[in-house]
Structure 1
Amino acid sequence: MASVVVRMADGTRKAAVNLPGTLTIGQLLQTTQQKWSLPSNANYAVRLDRTGEQLDSSATLDSVGVEENDVFSVLPILEAGQK
């Protein structure tokens, strides 16, 4: 288990949570979308703020080397012509 912070990149939402190392980034993103009622027709990415790396949705928290108090930012992926 790791204590981390998940937040929207624009700062509108933020949560401190304890997560198991076996959780995938995709599962983290899916849960975040549901809990925060984010639009399901939009695509999102997750960035580990400590490294600035955008994380692969199939990677687990353990495989990305998550550390205590790391911050994960959820970013909308904007497509051309989308507002």
Structure 2
Amino acid sequence: MNDIIRRALVGDREAQEECTKQGIVLPCPFCGGEAELKQLSGRWAVCCKTHCVGTKIYGNKNKALTAWNTRQAPPREEADHEAD
């Protein structure tokens, strides 16, 4: 996992925005599994590949990716553990 993704996962807004600009889909915030950007009849959503969660459907892929990649920092204890 590269540095920008690590920073995004611990709530760094600039890193989250950079991931979105680069088309990086962050892992699922619930299960940590892989997620994918999907086109659905000309509209877009991001979904966890294990189907535990997804975004609503957007008319633009950047909005779907922004919704998925923008997340709060985990509780401090989890953030400390993620950095290990």
Task: Specify if TM > 0.5.
Answer: no
Judging by fraction of residues, say which structure has more strand.
1
Which fold has the larger relative contact order, with Cα–Cα distance below 8 Å and residues 6 or more apart in sequence?
1
TM-score by length of 2: 0.29
Judging by fraction of residues, say which structure has more helix.
2
